[in-house]
Structure 1
């Protein structure tokens, strides 16, 4: 019978896996990584808080898509918390951690990734429901959206806790991973493959929707009254979603591939040398999302700027003409397929925020 090692500290498992936790995490390099990590985490907290506040404050965002977008921002905010906890419990400190504290460290990261991924899957379903009917927003009620958000976090918390619940190598050291010394290699294979398959499914779904909307827009344009920009609004919103998904896939795929190689016990792949850089790349995803929201959606940008302007009476810079006009409806009770754009008086934007 295999002996279990619940009472051991992490130095025992790191030594068994021949992992050098101190390499590249001491001296100047460590300080540089911590400084960049701290800056990024502060930006994540502030920017994603602004996105959530914008959805709550602006009644034009009170639709299923934007509720889910706010939940994605909440997942990014949670990722920032996970990275802060990681920064204070990594490098040479890793070997001093208890098994439970190490499980907490990794569980927070796994939960944040699962929350973001599951949220993107739900957004894909919501986009399919609305876009296939050529509408900006689906008819999901607030009650159903709230239930979906609760399910998203329940799944995320469960997936983050799976290794703690038993799928680990504490009782079978020979199956331990190198990057995650108390994770079973079989769990890493399951976790990374399931995430990569989910990436592929979402990419295929969004490409299908994108092609459908583009085809329908081209067919209906000559026969539809109204401005060209109104008819292209569904395509603009799809581009925003696809940009968010693209950034997510680009930032997370390299790290997942490295974990998969480790799960497959690829000893000659040099996974130890690139793991830190890919972790920083994953952190960058939570930094990019708020920038994408504000750049792609004019109304989101305007709402966030009004909230920032409330702290200052100074003159705001002119908006860039490359931003895409707002994709929200002007009335919450409008369920038709007409897409209404909102014009904003830039000269009085801060004054409106104070009124």
Structure 2
């Protein structure tokens, strides 16, 4: 998708007649409209899809479980990406200019990275939750309680907001790169500049939870495989009611772990290009073309729209909840007690 080429005498600026304005490189009308549709659709899906997830879990009493509360909080992070990040990034990406002021640029960047890391911490706690549920499904309800889930949710929100808020608002992120930051962030620009030291810290903060998630899910699927073999060996033998119940619970927890594992894989695939681009860009003097940066950003943003689609495909309770919400049945007084079977 090519940008319009204009002669030097007709260079367009983000702010005409303003010294220090960024150069504007707009798309032609056709691609411009297409990009607005694609990016706008992602924002709408992120907002509406995650709003359905939060409404479903909070409204229907049967869905009030520690795991689902973590999912609802994760959906809140994705919802906020759709509301507070994607619309403004859409204008920046298509118009190649930032029209919302320097202060809001800092706030927008803080929200962008904080919500990302919040999502990652949610997924990390969800992986630990699934490990406990799969390895010992009968004792799990007494270990991972609603209170424990609440603590995990608090940590997942407070740590990223405090860390990135402190880094961006104190300006330590571009220590030693002040001249480069001034050159890149002309009037009408909003590109975060992070020096090599802080990029390395951010990279480790991303990689460590990812490694924890990979290790935990690897163990989950090993345990699930062993359990499946035991069930297969015990098939045909008359088991106790406790053994039968334990088998059903274990099967349900394994299925939930697989579905949430898909959510984790989707997150990793979506955020990997942006993470790699950020590290390479920092060590190569921020020479990556703007369109590469925007592509990596939108791959990451679209992850916020993907999770509700994954839930709709693999969670029967979510599909039933959507039907009740869209048909407005959930507005009836007794709807909160709706049974979803063995969710």
**Matched residues in 1 for 2:286 and 2:175: separation?**
21
**Matched residues in 1 for 2:115 and 2:316: separation?**
28
Which structure has more RCO (C-alpha within 8 Å, separation ≥ 6)? 2
Which of these residues, 184, 195, 206, is aligned with residue 184 of structure 1?
A: 195
Q: Which moved more, 1:167-176 or 1:207-216?
A: 167-176
**Matched residues in 2 for 1:130 and 1:67: separation?**
15
CA contact (8 A) 1:255 1:278 kept: yes
Q: Which moved more, 1:217-226 or 1:243-252?
A: 217-226
Over 3 Å counting, the alpha-carbon distance change for 1:77 and 1:143 in structure 2 is same
Please, which runs of 5 or more residues in structure 1 have no aligned partner?
Answer: 1-9, 313-329, 332-339, 343-355
TM-score w.r.t. the length of structure 2 is 0.76
- Alignment of structure 1 residues 12-161 onto 2, 5 Å: 22-23=24-25, 27-81=29-83, 82-89=85-92, 91-94=95-98, 98-135=101-138, 138-139=141-142, 140-161=144-165
**Matched residues in 1 for 2:212 and 2:173: separation?**
28
Note the C-alpha offset of 1:118: 0.9
Note the C-alpha offset of 1:62: 1.2
**Matched residues in 1 for 2:301 and 2:82: separation?**
8
Q: After TM superposition, which residue ranges in structure 1, 4 or more long, deviate above 6 angstroms?
A: none
CA contact (8 A) 1:244 1:289 kept: yes
Which of these residues, 262, 271, 276, is aligned with residue 243 of structure 1?
A: 262
Partner of 2:157, secondary structure, is helix
Q: Which moved more, 1:229-238 or 1:209-218?
A: 229-238
- Write the deviation string for residues 219-273 of structure 1: whole angstroms up to 9, x where unpaired: 24433554976652222111111000000000110111001101222667x4534
Q: Is residue 307 of structure 1 aligned with residue 309 of structure 2?
A: no
TM-score w.r.t. the length of structure 1 is 0.74
Q: Is residue 215 of structure 1 aligned with residue 221 of structure 2?
A: no
Note the C-alpha offset of 1:92: 3.9
Q: Which moved more, 1:116-125 or 1:164-173?
A: 164-173
**Matched residues in 2 for 1:75 and 1:181: separation?**
21
In the alignment, which residue of structure 1 is the partner of 2:335?
none
Partner of 2:24, secondary structure, is coil
In the alignment, which residue of structure 2 is the partner of 1:341?
342
CA contact (8 A) 2:124 2:210 kept: no
**Matched residues in 1 for 2:127 and 2:266: separation?**
15
Structure number with the higher helix fraction is: 2
Over 3 Å counting, the alpha-carbon distance change for 1:92 and 1:280 in structure 2 is closer
Note the C-alpha offset of 1:198: 2.3
Over 3 Å counting, the alpha-carbon distance change for 1:54 and 1:181 in structure 2 is closer
In the alignment, which residue of structure 1 is the partner of 2:279?
260
**Matched residues in 2 for 1:185 and 1:171: separation?**
10
Note the C-alpha offset of 1:21: 6.6
CA contact (8 A) 1:196 1:253 kept: no
Q: Is residue 294 of structure 1 aligned with residue 312 of structure 2?
A: yes
Which of these residues, 148, 169, 172, is aligned with residue 174 of structure 2?
A: 169
**Matched residues in 2 for 1:245 and 1:276: separation?**
23
Count of residue correspondences: 301
Two-structure CA RMSD over aligned residues (Å): 3.3
Please, which runs of 5 or more residues in structure 2 have no aligned partner?
Answer: 1-13, 185-189, 331-338
Note the C-alpha offset of 1:128: 2.3
